[in-house]
Amino acid sequence: MVFQLDQEEKEGDLYFHHFEPNPRLAQVIVGAESAVSRQQVADAIGALVNVESFKARLAFKSFTVRKNDLPRRWK
């Protein structure tokens, strides 16, 4: 999850986020070097609906991480 710190509750040097009563999983990003398979992610997600999952990859010409646009490369 990503949060804007200036919108969170601060106590000393720590920030706290108050979650809604029913948080929902929306996306699973599998790391570029992870050996987790597409089927393992599907099994972990189970019956949850509207959950996007994809494998990340290292960019070819920069020091960034990108979404792998070729699903066949993630088995």
Of 57, 51, 60, nearest to 71 (Cα)? Answer: 57
Tell me: the pLDDT tens digits for 17-73? 887 778 888 999 999 899 999 999 999 999 999 999 999 989 999 999 888 877 677
Single pTM value for the model: 0.64
**Residues 45, 64: Cα–Cα separation, whole Å:** 27
Check if the beta carbon of residue 36 is closer than 8 Å to that of residue 30: yes
Q: Report the C-alpha gap between 18 and 43 in whole angstroms.
A: 29
